[in-house]
Amino acid sequence: MKQQMLKPVPSVMFLLWVLGALNGCMHKTGGTRPGPPETPPVYVIVHGPWVLVVKEHRVIALVPRDPGHEIVSPYPERHEAKLMPADCKTTTEFELQGVDSADTTTIDPAFRPVTFNIPDWEQKKDEDLFVKMKLPIPTRIDGLSPLQPVEFEGNPGKTEYVPLSEILEFRTRDISKVRLVRTEVSTCKTEKSSYPVKPLSCDEMKQRYDGYWKDPDNPRQKLSPQRPFLTDIFRRCPNGSRFLFVGVGLHPNAFQQFPEEERLGHFAQSGLDFFNNKLLPLVFGGKAKVPRENRLSAIKADPYETGYSWRLPKLLPAVYKAPVAKPVSVMYPYASTENCKSLSVIITTRH
């Protein structure tokens, strides 16, 4: 299986992105033309440790199974941890319906360190998956700021900055027909359970986030690094736009057996282990085939401590100057709805 890193985006493309036209590598696909420019966009916030495979006519998003992971959709909400019986495996399948498949898609260049072109990539039939999502080709795959500082084994001492969440933009000719269909397939049940979900308006999604953040019983009540950026997105989002959310990761109350000041380290280590031992083997066809240089060696200090200038998706200004906060001892959530510490991987399959 051959793989190669994507080449850096030409400077002229980057300039166009700054002007608001493009912000990533363009990939020719075999989709249908998107709807007219005036149709409202549909945004799918994909959070957590995913493998996004951009094929000719579709995108599939996969998450390998992990006993500690959970799914939160179609919006963040307060919830109790749900543990499945050890002898019962459930795979959750999502399918986005009612949106157009684009002829081309652009990938945010911030994903460059975790984007690989593997023309002959195919999913193994016996792959043990926790989540599988089928999507048409989006017009854009953007990163949600802030960027997470990490280090790879191939470049010791060099810090890369990678988004922890993706925002996929779609166009639709009829917003009333857009649905995210969720299906549960369980080894301990003979019947599948399936139901469709409508996307939320910008104001509705903002209200869901606000309610989640302000809940007095929510252990993540304190400000986390992603929240200022999400707040700005919902404040500036285009009129008529719609949002869906699919998050995967640990429950926010994980590692409660450890002192608060130690929990962040356990979240970070869990994210590093999942990326190296679950995601990369799924990408390269097995643990033995993973190139050492692509393995994570460190998930570093949080972005709010670095003073880094972060970019935001297309619907915001090209560069956002975030205030530099002094390091403080605060419990930030790194879980299924915000700041999951495991990076995603993007596979392109162009020849």
| Percent of all residues in the chain with a pLDDT value above 90, rounded to a whole number | 42
The mean pLDDT of 11-25, rounded to a whole number, is 36
| Residue 214 clears pLDDT 50, i.e. is over it | yes
Comparing 26 with 294, which gets the higher pLDDT? 294
Which of 61-65, 190-194, 316-320 reaches the highest mean pLDDT?
A: 61-65
Comparing 304 with 340, which gets the higher pLDDT? 340
Comparing 300 with 310, which gets the higher pLDDT? 300
The mean pLDDT of 223-245, rounded to a whole number, is 83
Comparing 314 with 154, which gets the higher pLDDT? 154
| Residue 305 clears pLDDT 60, i.e. is over it | no
Secondary structure string (H, E, C) spanning the chain: CCCEECCCCCHHHHHHHHCCCCCCEEEECCCCCCCCCCCCEEEEEEECCCEEEECCCCEEEEEECCCCEEEECCCCCCCCCCCCCCCCCEEEEEEEECCCCCCEEEECHHHHHHEEECCCCCCCCCCCEEEEEEECCCCEEEEEEEEEEEEECCCCCCCEEEEEEEEEEEECCCHHHCEEEEEEEECCCCCCEEEEECCEEHHHHHHHHHHHHHCCCCCCCCCCCCHHHHHHHHHHCCCCCEEEEEEEEECCCCCCCCCHHHHHHHHHHHHHHHHHHHHHHHHHCCHHHCCHHHCEEEECCCHHHCCCCECCCCCCCCCECCCCCCCCCCCCCCCCCCCCCCCCEEEECCC
Q: Give the start-to-end residue ranges of the domains of the chain.
A: 4-348
Query: What local confidence, expressed as pLDDT, does residue 3 receive?
Result: 47
At 325, the pLDDT band (50, 70, 90 cuts) reads very low
Which of 28-32, 250-254, 271-275, 276-280 reaches the highest mean pLDDT?
A: 276-280
At 2, the pLDDT band (50, 70, 90 cuts) reads very low
pLDDT averaged over the chain?
Answer: 77
- The reported pTM is 0.80
